[in-house]
Amino acid sequence: MGFQRCVADPCVYIKQGKDISYCLVYVDDILYMHNNEREEQECASGLKRYMQTKCLGPVQEYLGMHVIHDNNGGFILHQGSKIEQLLADSKMADCNEMKTPMSVSFQNETEGDYFTDPDLYRQIIGKLQYLAKVTRPDIANAVSILCRKVDKPTEKDWRGVKRVVRYLKGTVNYGLALSAVATGNLACYVDADHAGDKNNRKSTAGVLIMFHGYTIDWFSRKQTLVATSSTEAEYISLSMACHKLNWYELLMEEAQIKIQKPIRVYEDNQSCIRLAESEANNRRTKHVSVRFHHVRDCVQSKLIKLIYVNTKDADAC
């Protein structure tokens, strides 16, 4: 039996026959997972030979996440205590709740004066980032937009931060459900707002990945170059999603989880789908960078299957 590095770094896994164990290490916190109870004792004994360890039993909390176990072997992850601490740090424990994390007109609002306490802004944004990356995909886009102003935040940006905090107060008990299955379908939703950043006209990519109907990964990220059309903006977002799906294909293979291929990728731009499924370059698309055309390889190798979804239906998802 030997240790090997997993693609989910910093994680190592032990494999012997059909038995697989994972050790997820963060500083001095070790989360151990296995599919054979005998492996648990062997791993604990092996670690004690090299360091002092304390077994805390089935995981209840890890890195600020509360873990609730269901009867089917799945989990619910939530960060209620982190949100309550955030409300206290921002002195908003008694604030009114909001139903959405950001106004749709936020980026078109007047900037106003610079915020007088940028250190406080950066502190709260750092806490919001952790929530958005770990258990709260519903605030990912709002936090992504607000992160762009950490250098010189304005009063408008601070109002945006407070709105996200007020939204979190009303959803403090929201959590992320994960199932325990050995086979299932990966699905991916991709979108982009063309030239959404009013300062440099760059677009924002949004990607949501689900396994067996449960959300497992997501991001909202500003693209690194200016897209000259909505088709190009969507195509760049699709490329970013394919990088993630390539990684998940390797991860699922290592974890002996069977996924059905091709992976369904839902896209609301028909021109983008035609560009990805075409092998030719024409006058209108020759400016698209070659580095994004690995999307075509993913389509041709049948790793992904692009499916058109109406924009209204995608928003409902």
pLDDT of residue 1: 39
Query: With the C-alpha atoms ordered 255, 306, 280, 301, is the resulting torsion angle positive or negative?
Result: positive
Cross-strand bridge partners of residue 30? 25
Claim to verify: residue 191 and residue 214 sit in the same structural domain: yes
- Is residue 51 included in any domain, yes or no? yes
- Is residue 62 included in any domain, yes or no? no
Instruction: Locate 282 and state its tokens.
Output: 């024409």
Claim to verify: residue 240 and residue 300 sit in the same structural domain: yes
Over the chain (317 residues), the average pLDDT of each successive run of 10 is 50 62 83 76 80 86 92 91 95 96 91 94 97 97 96 96 98 92 90 91 96 95 93 95 94 85 96 89 68 90 95 66
Claim to verify: residue 187 and residue 165 sit in the same structural domain: no
Claim to verify: residue 23 and residue 90 sit in the same structural domain: no
Claim to verify: residue 93 and residue 125 sit in the same structural domain: yes
- Give 61's Cβ-side CA count (13 Å radius): 5
Rg (CA), the chain: 22
Q: What is the pTM of this model?
A: 0.88
Phi, psi for residue 246 in degrees, rounded to 5: -60, -40
Question: Domain of 310: which CATH number?
Answer: 3.30.420.10
Instruction: Locate 125 and state its tokens.
Output: 């944004």
pLDDT of residue 307: 96
Residue 194 and residue 237 in contact, taking contact as beta carbons nearer than 8 Å? no
> How far is CA 247 from each of CA 22, 139, 217, rounded to the nearest angstrom?
17, 24, 12
Return the amino acid letter for 36: N
pLDDT of residue 11: 62
pLDDT of residue 314: 65
Claim to verify: residue 297 and residue 200 sit in the same structural domain: yes
Claim to verify: residue 36 and residue 149 sit in the same structural domain: no
pLDDT of residue 52: 85
Instruction: Locate 121 and state its tokens.
Output: 């802004």
pLDDT of residue 271: 92
Claim to verify: residue 250 and residue 311 sit in the same structural domain: yes
Claim to verify: residue 186 and residue 276 sit in the same structural domain: yes
- CB burial class (10 A; 0-12, 13-18, 19+) of residue 131? buried
The residue among 151, 86, 83 whose CA lies nearest residue 119 is 151
pLDDT of residue 279: 78
Q: Which domain holds residue 210?
A: 182-316
